[in-house]
């Protein structure tokens, strides 16, 4: 892999298998415990656990993709990540109140000290996302690898997810769209938000914003598997203090920030 935009997917297969053996262990334990009631419950429990895991409700999956955004390295005046996102996903780049923005540069200033920071904010890909909880059709969903997406086949355009998201990370498509990119379907009357460039990730490439930031040499954005202790992002998170936006809400964002 010589492509600078690539990331190496770690061997998830081995982990998947180790999970299997864990499953077997649990079954053995249950069998030893015996009892008709327990045996009767076991299949249900296993199915339940599987369903919960498949739905991403239990965060025991070997993969959880996330970002670490280092505000110390993010340059004010640079919006390479925003432009890369707009270009790759076919957004207009307009910033009117009814235009969609999947990622935005936010500047914060402490009025007492004058401390200023600038950094990008996008969908935080929460472990317990409010947008998924409120969606009446399940169009808002969390993929098993932690990416929060809108399944536009099911979206009815009620905008309850826009109401519920504490990060204002969702947009509603208020205009007719006919210049979509083949890899980023989007249409009038549906909700949408950052997909973490899911289609690039599935091809083993970095999200467009992360790749653009790296190309600029700023390296303010790091992408990786939060659940793999060997990944660069997990190591960095273990080494330095970091935070998440509105951690008090308990939604456990997958996007971490340093230096704010």
Partner 1 sequence: MATLAYREIGGKSGRYWALVIGSGALVAAGLGAALYMRAHGHHVTGMTNQIVWGMPHVFAVFLIVAASGALNVASIASVFGRSPYKPLARLSGLLAVALLIGGLWNLVLDLGRPGHLLDAVMFPQWRSIFAWNIYLYTGFLVVVGFYLWFLMERRLERHSKTIGLVAFLWRLVLTTGTGSIFGFLAARRAYDTALLAPLFIILSFAFGLAVFLLVLITASSALSRPLGERLLKRLKGLLVVFVAAALYFVAVYHLTNLYRAGYRGIESFVLVSGGVYTLLFWVIQVGVGGVVPLVLLLTAKTRLARRMVVASAGVVVGGLAQLYVLIIGGQAYPLRLFPGFVVHSSFYDGVIHPYVPHWPETVLAVSGVGVTTLIVLIGVRLLPFLPASLADEAIDVHGHKGRPAQAPKSVVPSP
Partner 2 sequence: MRARALAIAISVVVVLLAVLWLTHRGPVPRPLIAQARGHCVLNTARMRRIHMMWLRQVRTRVVRDGMALRADRLTRCVSCHVQKNAQGHLIPIDAPGQFCSSCHVYAGVKIDCFACHAAVPEPAFAPGYFSRAHHIQAAFRQPQILPRRFKALLSRAAP
Number of amino acids touching partner 1 (CB under 8 A)? 55
63-102 residues in contact with partner 1 (CB under 8 A) are 82, 95, 97-101
In the complex with partner 1, which residue's Cβ is closer, 220 or 234?
220
Phi, psi of 220 (to 5 degrees): -85, -10
Residue of 75, 80, 81 lying closest to 107 (CA atoms):
75
What is the nearest approach in angstroms of partner 1 to the Cβ of residue 245? Answer: 6
169-188 residues in contact with partner 2 (CB under 8 A) are 177-183, 185-188
Residue of 144, 159, 146 lying closest to 192 (CA atoms):
159
Determine which residue in the list 49, 78, 232, 249 makes contact with partner 1, applying CB under 8 A: 249
Using CB under 8 A as the binding rule, whether residue 62 contacts partner 2 is answered as: yes
Using CB under 8 A as the binding rule, whether residue 171 contacts partner 1 is answered as: yes
Q: Which residues contact 87 (CB under 8 A, 6 or more apart)?
A: 208
Q: Crossing angle of helices 12-33/36-54, nearest 10°?
A: 160
Residue 203 binds which of partner 1, partner 2, none (CB < 5-8 A, kind-dependent): partner 2
- Contact between 70 and 258 (Cβ < 8 Å): yes
Distance CA 168, CA 177 (A): 22
Residue 53's H or E segment, with its range, is helix 36-54
What is the nearest approach in angstroms of partner 1 to the Cβ of residue 192? Answer: 10
Distance CA 239, CA 201 (A): 25
Instruction: Kindly indicate which of the ranges 13-21, 46-54, 129-137, 231-239 contains the residues binding partner 1, using the contact rule CB under 8 A.
Output: 129-137
Residue 225's H or E segment, with its range, is strand 221-225
25-44 residues in contact with partner 2 (CB under 8 A) are none
In the complex with partner 1, which residue's Cβ is closer, 13 or 179?
179
Residue 136 binds which of partner 1, partner 2, none (CB < 5-8 A, kind-dependent): partner 1
- Contact between 233 and 81 (Cβ < 8 Å): no
In the complex with partner 1, which residue's Cβ is closer, 47 or 133?
133
Determine which residue in the list 53, 73, 83, 104 makes contact with partner 1, applying CB under 8 A: 104
**3-state SS, residue 133:** helix
The residues binding partner 2 (CB under 8 A) are 9, 12-13, 16, 50, 54, 61-63, 141, 143-145, 147, 149, 151-153, 177-183, 185-190, 198-199, 201-204
């Amino acid at each position: 892999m010589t492509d600078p935009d690539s990331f190496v997917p770690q061997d998830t297969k081995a982990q998947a298998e180790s999970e299997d053996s864990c499953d077997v262990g649990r079954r053995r334990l249950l069998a030893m415990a015996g009892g008709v009631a327990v045996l009767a419950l076991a299949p249900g429990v296993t199915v339940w656990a599987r369903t919960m895991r498949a739905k991403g409700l239990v965060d025991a999956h070997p993969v959880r993709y996330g970002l670490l955004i280092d505000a110390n390295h993010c340059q004010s005046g640079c919006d390479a990540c925003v432009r890369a996102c707009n270009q790759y996903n076919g957004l207009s780049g307009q910033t009117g109140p009814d235009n969609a923005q999947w990622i935005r540069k936010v500047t914060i200033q402490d009025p007492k000290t004058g401390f200023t920071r600038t950094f990008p904010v996008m969908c935080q890909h929460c472990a317990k996302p409010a947008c998924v909880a409120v969606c009446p059709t399940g169009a808002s969903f969390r993929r098993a690898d932690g990416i929060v997406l809108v399944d536009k086949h099911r979206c009815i355009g009620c905008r309850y997810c826009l109401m519920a998201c504490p990060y204002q990370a969702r947009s509603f498509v208020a205009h007719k769209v006919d210049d979509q990119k083949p890899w980023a379907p989007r249409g009038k009357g549906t909700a949408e938000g950052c997909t973490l460039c899911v289609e690039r990730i599935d091809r083993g490439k970095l999200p467009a914003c992360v790749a653009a930031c790296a190309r600029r040499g700023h390296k303010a954005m790091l992408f990786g598997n939060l659940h793999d202790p060997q990944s660069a992002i997990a190591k960095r998170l273990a080494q330095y203090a970091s935070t998440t936006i509105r951690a008090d809400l308990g939604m456990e964002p997958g996007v971490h920030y340093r230096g704010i």
